[in-house]
Structure 1
Amino acid sequence: MLRSFRFCLLASGLWLLPQLQLRAAQFDLSTATVADINAAFESGALTSEKLTQLYLARIEAYDKAGPKINAVITLNTEALATARALDAERKTKGPRSPLHGVPVVLKDLYDTKDMPTSAGFLPLKNSQPTLDATVVKRLREAGAIILAKVNMDDWFGVPKPGDQSTVLGRTLNPYNAELTPGGSSGGTGASVAAVFAQLGLGSETGVSIRNPTSNNSIVGLAPTRGLIPRAGQVMTSFTQERCGPMARSVYDVAALTDIVAGFDAEDLLTITAPGRMPKGSYTQFLEKDGLKGARIGVLRDLFRKGDKHVEGTALIETAITDMKASGAIVLDDLSLGYDVFKFLDSHGGMRTNFHEAQFSYDLYFRRLGPNAVIKNMDDLVAFGDLVKPSIRKGYAEFRSLTHHADYLARRDMQESLSAQLVALMDKYKLDALVYPFKTLPPEPHLEKGLAGKDNAVSSITGLPALIVPTGYTKKENGPIAMEILGRPWSEPVLFRLGYAYEQATHRRQHPAMVPALSGEKFTY
């Protein structure tokens, strides 16, 4: 009798049901990592074409329709065809990398040979590069799909108040439409938060990776100076400019860093990278218990005071408590012994971009070739009042930096601050320093000159920093984030700490303004 019953179960397929249930996997586009996507690819439950369709559906529903996030400048019309070709290649040859068939959005200052690169500046709206930026070339070689070029703070022009660019205008924050997504990589931040793609690239001279990462409650890396090449990227500063991987998880930021990092002969700052990168993937350092025994220093110099900072500070304090609960050894009340914010504000914020800008721009324009809309700085300033006064002023003043006292002083102060922070970490044998990126929510679109909102320590020093979400203010639903700062080339450590914190807390929440669409969640 029992044997007969078992045979009936086996014949009906019910015999296997408990085992199938145990092996069933849940897929959710809003929370899936690159690893989850590859698992679904390998099972046959998902294809690159289907994944790309899911992202295109979200862009159609939420970018120019629905809440009108308004982040996409140029949509890649060949994205689905590319996805189909990559699916066919996967079947015959296997994946090129974990990013094979995975859609990515780019801040519209990375050159793409098949789409215009505007840098947010209306006269460059139809500027068509002939070459890919180095990081774009590496993404394509890895099998990633460049899905769209997205909005950014206008690099050269003066947009209307509250707008990001003269090309596209205003991009909204998916967590609160009344708040800015942040500059200057706000389009990347909003796109990743709204789940318009799996991954994104931003960039920063000052805080333009970290500010939109914080404002949109995602994860972002401001890498060690020299880790990621910048050839084919519109940039303002040879010294400070960085390319920044941005995503909804630490895992994905690490996986994206794998692809874009490393030496490039077109950017000799990267000559320092060989020998200082891990031999395997950055994802190998991600451990759920990665905070256990880690030595974390709380840099109190970068906590702002005042009533308006109380709620944001409380979220950071909770994050530090969470790190301690996960096994970290937390050394609190660390200080460099002086007012760091005042020091950062000295000499115009210690930034070198005002001096280096025209030389950086000229380098970029020359790359565009003889048919370029703008071939050099003379062509740019010829647009007159359309161009930022600071750019025209810098071009008139700085013809050489060789003996420029103010420029050299700023560079020396950057090196000094970097050395002080590394010495502090060495003194207490720390893995990293933590502090708020900022303790204020994103400001309203028309807000100007909001004092004391963030800090430029990482960009000033060139030290790597990882931004992770810590929660939201109650009134604005404004995202707040913690910054984890490390020694040069310590990205593996930052990823380990950030991943462990992320897995222990799961602070990031999907923005309600852009809910899931049909087909984004399934079981396989």
Structure 2
Amino acid sequence: MKKSLLASAGLLLLGSTLLLGVPVSGAYAEDAGAAVRDQAPAAVPTAFVQLSGPSLASPGETFAVSVSLSGATGSATAGKFVFEYDPSSFDYISAAAGNPEVSIAGVNAESGKLTIVATDADGSLTDAGAVLALTFKAKAAGDISGINGYVELGADDGSVVQTPEQSLAVQIAGSAPGDLNGNSVIDVGDLSVLLKYFGIDASDANWGSAAIGDFNKNNAIDLADLAALGKKVLYDNGQPFQLMEADIMSIQNAMAAGKLTSVELVQMYLDRIHEYDDDLHSLISINPDALQIAKAMDDERQEKGPRGLLHGIPIIVKDNYDTLGLKTTAGCKCLDDNQTVSDAFMVKKLKDAGAIILAKANLSEFAINTDTLSSLGGQTKDPYDLTKNPGGSSGGTGSSLAANFAAAGLGTDTGGSIRIPSSWNSIVGIRPTIGLTSRDGIIPLALSQDVGGPMARTVADAAILLDAVSGYDPNDIATAGSVGKKPASYTRYLDKNGLKGARIGLVLDSSVAGSNQEVLGLLNKAADDMRAQGATVVGVNIPNVADILKYPSLSGYEFKFNLNEYLSNTRFVDPAAIRNHSLTDIIAGNEFLTSLTNTLNTRNGIESLDTQEYKDILLFRTRLTQQSLLGLMADNSLDAILYPSTTGPTGGSSGSANRLSPFSGFPAISLPAGFVASGLPVGIELLGRPYDEGELIKLGYAYEQATHNRKAPELFPALPVPAK
């Protein structure tokens, strides 16, 4: 009977472990684990993982890997298996029990790493023959030596043995719910003990030892308790959740382990905003419904499981993205009545993925400049030096993320507006290929150059956001070009060995790289760091670069027409609710930065785009830039082109290199490169071919993992943890 219950429990546990947020709390008996410790020691199990499968896999081939234990001695009823593989060579597809005696209690699949908890309640995993059956798909030719396995085994007396290659135990501070073997560690030994007590209740003589495993406090050891403990073994790092610099995966793991809820997470970020944003002025508005939405996301997680990696994750978006329930102002007092009637396409995609729009970020008014100064939001400051501006125009997003006000965010980029503040706030910013993300519902500056993209503290988080917000939108015809060019997931490119064999072109021309010696020193160090990771870095000069950089941005021509079209589009705005319906109205109302007076009047004076001057810029500038960059990459067999994101540190010169991406429409990623002597951050930029965001993510991730250049600003430390 016990075996049949647990055979079905294997399926239920898998669903529960991945989908149900069972609270990690429960009754605690002072003598918990005592009975286990007093038992005579069983034979200690030992074993090594044995993998068998094809000697060679062809690209695109799906193949099976059988997992068994070799050199096994003693008995083991639970095991935690860890498999590491090169994500550039293999994709993990699925896992199943290797025979009917084995049940899978949980699976955690990450890029390059797979963790599985398996049990054999009546027998022993060491006697089970094939324990697991894994399925992978080959991305590039390679043999099975590219998949390595390690195991930690637990006997039913609570003893644990680990293979010498890697420790998989989860260290915790003192005793905690689930520590049934009393070793101050949550491990598969605890799961083995709980399996032994499965089905007993508070009337049983062994309840004193089992009670610490009663997570749902119903005075019985049932499937929910097994699921809760299995979840802790899979996800719990044994430490309290740390908000500072938390990435999306660590947040999701904390939620899966039951240590954190979306409500708690949102409140933590709100506490930081309330404590620190009076100094930064990074935000224009805060979502009053954020906690209510977080509660709904927590309830959904409990009932149905998470929608994906963004479920319950707080995001900050630049205040030129239409967002239902919040005003969309572009930083201008003239639009403080713009309660939009729909979400921007990218915002809707975030919400569909389960993300919570926590706040709207300040920006350079209408996204025109690079200082993040607006009539509505004031002057945003840089968290590394409050006397400096954070760059722009997406400086509010950059400043708030650097100060840990949210998990990640969205910016827009017309000339450098994602990458400049990313550089000056020591974060990651991706300007996608024009057409990968929709501009629908974003207050425009120049649609021939505008694009929205992710900003985050890590490359992985930027990749997760890009997965969610990219794709075809019939309301932005440019996105039709992305059909068939977007991968299944950009997270597949998160390869710490991604620089190995890559070929990078380091721009030498001072008109692109600048002349600041500290910035150039960090640029050259980045090149050396890439070489150390197996890349070939060669010096290059961009053909025709002087002619390319002579061209102006098209925002001076297109702004009036694009803005007027937005303000008259009833899919975005409620005409009866806004007082300004055109740039002419805005100028007449005089509710904008006085420093923009000449700029707005000049742009409002453009009578038509049907001029030879405009057409020449649009056609010849784009063609010259694209041909020059593609020719350079082809002639030198380059995977990417490297240069500084900005030619000066925070508050200095942004330079002209940031024009290469918008003038060509090609993608670029800005990465933290370190700090100059004064403590101000600097970023480097990698530019790639159209729709080659995956390659840039791969190169950027490998560089990030090798250097870990980002450091949180010391002016905005962690808040004291409130007493519970």
TM-score (structure 1 length as normaliser): 0.90
- Is 1:460 the counterpart of 2:663? The answer is yes
Contact 2:419 2:670 in 1 (8 A): yes
Equivalents in 1 of 2:696, 2:654: separation in Å?
A: 28
- Contact 2:646–2:654 (CA<8 Å) still a contact in 1? no
One-letter amino acid of the structure 1 residue matched with residue 660 of structure 2:
V
Spell out the pairing of 1:409-488 with structure 2 (5 A cutoff): 409-443=617-651, 450=653, 452=655, 455-475=658-678, 477-488=679-690
Q: d(CA) in 2 for partners of 1:163 and 1:126?
A: 21
After TM superposition, the structure 1 = structure 2 runs for residues 363-402 of structure 1, keeping only pairs within 5 Å, are 363-367=565-569, 368-371=573-576, 372-384=578-590, 386=592, 388-399=597-608, 401-402=609-610
Deviation readout 1:46-73 (Å, 9 max, x if unpaired): 1111111111111011112xxx111121
Does 2:489 align with 1:309?
no
Determine which of 197, 204, 220 is the counterpart of 2:406.
197
Partners of 2:564 and 2:266 in 1: CA distance: 36
The amino acid that maps onto 1:456 is R
Q: Distance in 2 between matches of 1:112 and 1:484?
A: 31
Which of 409, 412, 420 pairs up with 1:211? 420
Paired letter, 2:321: Y
Distance change in 2, residues 1:305/1:465 (3 Å): closer
Q: What is residue 63 of structure 1 aligned with on the other side?
A: 277
Provide, for residues 81-101 of structure 1, a one-character-per-residue CA deviation record: whole Å limited to 9, x for no partner.
Answer: 100011000111111221110
Cα offset for 1:337?
Answer: 4.2
Percent pairwise identity: 38
Offset, 1:302: 5.5
Are 2:248 and 1:34 aligned? yes
Pick one of 536, 541, 545 that aligns with 1:329: 536
- Match of 2:516, SS state, is helix
**1:230 Cα offset (Å):** 0.7
Q: Distance in 2 between matches of 1:358 and 1:325?
A: 49
Which of the pair is proportionally richer in strand? 2
Q: Is the 8 A contact 1:229 1:270 kept in 2?
A: yes
Structure 1 residue 156: deviation in Å?
A: 8.1
Alpha-carbon contact 1:106-1:150 (below 8 Å) kept:
yes
Aligned counterparts of 2:667 and 2:39: Cα–Cα separation in 1? 66
Q: Match of 1:84, SS?
A: helix
Equivalent residue number for residue 355 of structure 1:
557
Partner residue, 1:50 = 264
Could you say which structure has the higher helix fraction? Answer: 1
Corresponding residue SS for 1:388: helix
Which amino acid is the alignment partner of residue 57 of structure 1?
D
Indicate yes or no: 2:550 matched with 1:346.
yes
Deviations 1:478-507 (A, max 9, x none): 111110100000000000000010001100
Q: Write the letter of the residue equivalent to 2:588.
A: A
Instruction: Measure how far apart 1:354 and its partner are.
Output: 1.1
The 1:381–1:411 alpha-carbon spacing in structure 2 relative to 1, beyond 3 Å, is farther
Does the 8 A contact of 2:372 with 2:392 survive in 1?
Answer: no
Residue in structure 1 matched with residue 210 of structure 2 by the alignment: none
Quick check: 1:178 aligned with 2:387?
A: yes
1:405 aligns with 2:590: no
In structure 2, do the counterparts of structure 1 residues 235 and 48 end up closer, same or farther at CA, with 3 Å as the change threshold? same
**Could you say what secondary structure the match of 1:28 adopts?**
coil
SS in 1 for 2:716: coil
Q: Give distance in 1, aligned partners of 2:311 and 2:513.
A: 46
Secondary structure of the structure 2 residue equivalent to 1:382? helix
| Distance in 2 (alpha carbons) for counterparts of 1:389 and 1:402 | 23
Contact 2:334 2:591 in 1 (8 A): no
- Tell me, yes or no, if the aligned pair for 1:352 and 1:407 is still in contact at 8 Å: no
Amino acid in the other structure paired with 2:564: D
Report SS of the residue matched to 1:207. Answer: coil
Whether 1:117 aligns to 2:117 is no
1:140 aligns to what SS in structure 2? helix
Deviation at 1:404, TM superposition (A): 2.7
SS in 1 for 2:568: helix
Where structure 2 has 5 or more consecutive residues not aligned to the other structure, the ranges are 1-36, 43-156, 160-174, 189-232
Question: How far has the Cα of 1:381 moved from its partner?
Answer: 3.1
> Which structure would you say has the larger RCO, counting Cα contacts within 8 Å and 6 or more residues apart?
1
Indicate the SS of the match to 2:634.
Answer: helix
The 5 A counterparts of 1:233-272 are 233-272=442-481
Unaligned runs of 5+ in 1: 445-449
Does the C-alpha gap of structure 1 residues 317 and 451 become closer, same or farther in structure 2, counting only changes over 3 Å?
closer
Closer/same/farther in 2, CA of residues 146 and 431 from structure 1, 3 Å limit = same
Distance 2:713 2:328 in 1: 29
Distance 2:329 2:351 in 1: 20
Change (3 A) 1:499 1:50: same
Matched, 1:96 2:307: yes
| CA distance in 2 between partners of 1:305 and 1:80 (Å) | 45
Range 114-123 or range 124-133, more displaced: 124-133
What does the per-residue CA deviation read over 1:230-261, in whole Å, with 9 as the maximum and x for residues that have no partner? 11101111110010210000000000011110
In structure 2, give the amino acid aligned to 1:121.
Answer: C
Distance 1:250 1:29 in 2: 18
The verdict on how the C-alpha distance between 1:274 and 1:452 changes in structure 2, with shifts beyond 3 A counting, is closer
5 Å-filtered alignment, 1:215-230, equals 215-230=424-439
| Counterpart for residue 447 of structure 1 | none
State the SS of the aligned residue for 1:63: helix
Query: What code does the residue aligned with 1:288 have?
Result: K
CA RMSD of aligned residues (A): 2.6
Alpha-carbon contact 2:506-2:641 (below 8 Å) kept: yes
Paired residue type of 1:310: Q
Structure 1 residue 192, shift from structure 2 partner: 0.6
Q: CA separation of 1:204/1:337 partners in 2, compared to 1, >3 Å: closer, same or farther?
A: closer
How many positions carry a matched residue from both structures? 501
Instruction: Give me the whole-angstrom Cα distance separating, in 1, the residues matched to 2:350 and 2:591.
Output: 37
Determine the structure 1 residue equivalent to 2:702. Answer: 500
Task: Point out the more displaced range, 226-235 or 381-390.
Answer: 381-390
Q: Does 1:145 align with 2:356?
A: yes
Distance 1:455 1:382 in 2: 34
CA distance in 2, matches of 1:451, 1:97: 37
Cα distance, 1:10 vs structure 2: 5.9
Going from structure 1 to structure 2, the CA distance change for 1:455 and 1:139 (only over 3 Å counts) comes to closer
The superposition leaves residues 239-293 of structure 1 with CA deviations (integer Å, 9 ceiling, x where unpaired) of 1001021000000000001111011111111111111111x21101111111111
Question: TM-score, normalised on structure 2?
Answer: 0.66
2:151 maps to 1:17 = no
CA distance in 2, matches of 1:409, 1:150: 32
CA contact (8 A) 1:422 1:487 kept: yes
Residue 525 of structure 2 aligns with which residue?
Answer: 318
The AA in structure 2 aligned to 1:469 is: P
Q: Which has the larger radius of gyration?
A: 2
Structure 1 CA distance for aligned equivalents of residues 622 and 293 of structure 2: 44
1:473 and 1:180 map into 2 onto residues whose CA distance is 16
